[in-house]
Amino acid sequence: MIEIKKITNIEELYFYHTYIKSPYIFKTDYEEYLISLCKDSDGYGNNLFEELYLLGAYKDSKLVGFIQYGKTNIGFDQNGEITTNINYFVIRNFYFEDEKVGEELLNRVLDNKKEELYAFFHYFGMSCFARHGKLYEKNKNIEDLLTKHGFIPNEINVYYSSIVERKNEKEISIETKNINKWNTQNIVFKHNYEFIGETEIHFVNKENVYLRWIYIIEAKKHLGYGTKCMNKLKDYLFDLGVVKLDTDTASDNLIAQKYYERNNFVNLGKTKSYLKK
């Protein structure tokens, strides 16, 4: 018999959750996990959720699945800017092995369904997992259950990972801003003291960094500066002891995909978010 109830033993959930195989489930300690699970914020200090609920499925007193859902504290306006005037109802985390377990967990949420319900909304993932909120494609059982209940993919990304090695890039210089309390850092790229681009990265742990975005100004595109800036970033991270640099991009952004693959990033598969209207 399956029992659905509020999770009170977060340590048990920590071991269950961090055992799941996914490229963005990074090594994290319990304290970081607890904060990310319950009181998370984005890289700018905005609280991610106004309300959060956490239910576990238990069989013979053993945790066999869980779901976390709630109302976000922020949203995005038509220009893509963060605002507190827009909120979403989101299934943030949802994992199980047995379909019956998944059904019972999901039905608890659907019984209280709002007009629109998102699942695995990218921006609202956990900070200890680089805030990559989408569902990894190898969790096919979860996608199948969501699809069965009327969820459709609304965003598909490609997940990339690269080993950080020294590149000895000498032509590009960087200016680093301080790493903020939410482990986010912005870095400016310069060539001959001239601004040519910028990047934002998130320090997940001592060995893993997540690339939020990187860009080169229009006048310097298609001249090899994209690769030079990436190499300079890797030199910087290598000196800090970082081992792996991960990122993602939209599945239809072929230019970005070619850029990452040209710069020794490996395609680890697709991740998806979902919407049920």
Domains and CATH numbers, the chain: 2-156 (3.40.630.30), 161-270 (3.40.630.30)
- Residue 269 in contact with residue 258, Cβ under 8 Å? no
Average pLDDT of span 112-117 = 81
How confident is the model over 134-145, as pLDDT tens digits?
Answer: 999 999 999 999
CA proximity to 120, closest of 132, 130, 108: 132
Phi, psi of 264 (to 5 degrees): 65, 30
- pLDDT tens figures, 22-65: 999 999 999 999 999 999 999 889 999 999 999 999 999 999 99
H/E element holding 216? strand 208-216
Which tokens in the block code for residue 104?
């019972």
Q: Identity (one letter) of the amino acid at 121? A: F
Instruction: Give the pTM.
Output: 0.94
Q: Cα–Cα distance between 93 and 68 in angstroms, integer?
A: 5
Q: Which residues of 247-277 are buried (b: 16+ CB within 10 A; e: fewer)?
A: bbbeeeeeebbebbeebbbeebebbbbbbbe
All residues at 6 or more sequence positions from 129 whose CB lies less than 8 Å from its CB, including other chains? 24, 25, 26, 28, 36, 204
Which of 268, 204, 200 has the alpha carbon at shortest distance from 242?
Answer: 204
Q: CB under 8 Å to 74, separation ≥6 — which residues?
A: 42, 46, 47, 48, 82, 83, 84, 86, 87
- Two tokens at 98? 């047995």
Query: pLDDT at residue 147 above 80?
Result: yes
Poorest-confidence range of 43-52, 112-121, 176-185, 205-214?
112-121
What is the phi/psi pair of residue 208, to 5°? Answer: -120, 130
The answer to whether the CB of 118 falls within 8 A of the CB of 274 is: yes
Backbone angles phi, psi at 30, to 5 degrees: -65, -40
Greatest Cα pair distance, the chain, in angstroms, is: 68
How many CB atoms neighbour CB 108 within 10 A? 15
CB atoms within 10 A of CB 76: 12
| Residue 76 and residue 82 in contact, taking contact as beta carbons nearer than 8 Å | yes
Q: What mean pLDDT comes out for the span 81-94?
A: 97
Mean pLDDT of the 60-81 span = 96
* pLDDT level of residue 113 (50, 70, 90 thresholds): confident
